[in-house]
Structures are given as structure tokens and as C-alpha cells.
């Protein structure tokens, strides 16, 4: 769930729960998460509808490991696309 008033969100996945800092500035919704090892993940949702019910978004992963491991993020990555609000 995302609480824009409190500036927080929780991501639930796998066996852990991650705290996310939320900021709404102008037409942008920013979600920032830092893992215990220092990696930073940022998702920005733009107030621009691409299709019915979908908004433009970009997600970046700022992390680096000296060894590349298949299935794990080991280099900085960026994804651009769209997202949608789950039905209530």
C-alpha cells in the first residue's frame, strides 16, 4: 500500500517486507527504496496516461557487484514502460 500523506509504502515480496519512501511532487510520484547493503531502487510514475488506466513509469536499480550472477541484478539497470493501479 502507498500512503502519500505519510510518505511511506510497503512492498511485500518473497519472504521479506521492504520500506519505501514516497514523494509526490507536481505531476510525479517517486518511490525510493534502499536495501540493507546500500543498493537504491527508484520508481517514478508520471501523471501521463498511455492507455486506459495505465500511466507512464520508469524504474532504475542502482547496484553493482564485481561478479555477474544470472538471475540477480549486478549492474545498474533502467526500465521504462507503464503501470496501473490495482482494482479495489
Which residue range is the domain that position 61 belongs to? 2-84
Beta strands in 1-88 (DSSP E): 2-3, 8-13, 16-25, 28-34, 40-51, 54-62, 77-84
Counted domains in the chain: 1
User: Percentage of the chain with pLDDT > 70?
Assistant: 92
- What does the pLDDT look like over 28-61, one tens digit per residue? 999 999 988 888 999 999 999 998 889 999 999 9
Q: Per-residue pLDDT averaged across 71-79, rounded?
A: 85
Confidence grade of residue 14 (pLDDT, cut at 50, 70, 90): low
Pick from 19, 34, 27, 33: which is nearest to 55 by CA?
27
Amino acid at each position: 500500500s502507498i500512503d502519500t500523506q505519510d510518505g511511506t509504502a510497503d512492498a511485500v515480496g518473497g519472504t521479506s517486507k521492504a520500506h519505501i519512501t514516497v514523494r509526490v511532487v507536481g505531476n510525479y510520484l517517486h518511490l525510493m527504496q534502499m536495501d540493507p547493503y546500500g543498493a537504491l531502487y527508484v520508481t517514478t510514475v508520471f501523471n501521463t496516461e498511455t492507455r486506459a488506466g495505465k500511466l507512464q513509469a520508469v524504474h532504475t536499480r542502482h547496484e553493482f557487484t564485481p561478479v555477474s550472477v544470472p538471475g540477480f541484478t549486478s549492474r545498474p539497470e533502467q526500465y521504462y514502460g507503464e503501470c496501473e493501479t490495482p482494482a479495489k
